[in-house]
Copies of this chain bind each other. A is one copy, B any other.
């Protein structure tokens, strides 16, 4: 396990009979170092097998060029797309990504924040776990002025930027569409109301009903984990309802697809008997039959914007001091909700 021994700038300095400082400068294009000296240094470094020591540098300059990413889960289409966007930007701007999953647990989230803190990340990109109650665990970082950006599942904080879509409007759009298709009893299936995304979508659902003067039966609201399994169970629950709902708006596509499958299996026709609208525009939404009406959620773009904003903030660049950034969403109407020609 032990390496022969690392080459340092001192070794190069000695070999070339110059000072370590000059080597350090030569290695990084410092202005005011002769061309030939620089060339000599680079050449020596290369052939001695010199490897830059990032730690020593970090220790010295107190900057890591590393961004921490804390997310509930990595393995969903939406999240992997977001991360892909973040990685792209980070890579372009010379930052590395340190990634940690909370598995939807507040406890793990706290642990992750602490690890990131100790790793001295330059900034944090966070989407909150289902059951996170407050965001005090970020206080230590904020006190040190380490910028934190929340995305998707966000928290209100005067010092942090949030990047979201307008979930209220999206919920409103989805629900209004169902109402326009003639639905009178629309079920809502969503995740924990502690999280803005689900609370807001429910709000939009209510707004749409209110605006059209349609009463809401509270029994039609189901809160679950939005997993495939949970979707199937929700479908069972819905099919027990009497009278049967004639529309379902659910807060992700995984759930929507699971529900449609159960309904079809039970011989209930979609959209004729029950119209369904999902959320995210996951690839499965255009594979399921009938194709799923859903809200397009720009994941890659959200990742890119989050990373860009964070890096700009870290470097005190302009356009950094925003409170909230709202991306555009759109309702994609497909067959699963269309009852009218």
A residues contacting B by CB (< 8 A) are 1-4, 49, 51-56, 58-59, 64, 66, 73-77, 79-81, 83-84, 87-88, 91, 96-101, 108, 115, 117-120, 140, 143-145, 228, 254, 257, 261, 283-284, 287-289, 300, 316
Contacts and interface: CB of A to CB of B under 8 A. Distances in A.
B101 A119 contact: no
Q: What is the total number of copies of this protein in its complex? A: 2
Given A51-B118, A74-B80, A96-B98, 19 more contacts: A3-B144, A51-B117, A52-B118, A53-B120, A55-B58, A56-B59, A59-B59, A73-B84, A75-B77, A75-B84, A76-B80, A83-B99, A84-B101, A87-B99, A96-B115, A96-B119, A99-B99, A228-B283, A261-B287
Contacts of A228: 283
Contacts of A2: 145
Contacts of A117: 51
Given A55-B120, A56-B59, A80-B80, A145 B3 contact: yes
Nearest to A74: B84
A80 B75 contact: yes
A87 B59 contact: no
Nearest to A144: B3
30 contacts: A3-B144, A3-B145, A49-B140, A51-B117, A51-B118, A54-B120, A55-B55, A55-B58, A55-B59, A55-B120, A66-B98, A74-B84, A75-B80, A75-B81, A75-B83, A77-B77, A79-B80, A80-B80, A87-B99, A87-B100, A91-B100, A96-B115, A97-B98, A97-B99, A97-B100, A254-B283, A257-B287, A261-B287, A284-B284, A287-B287
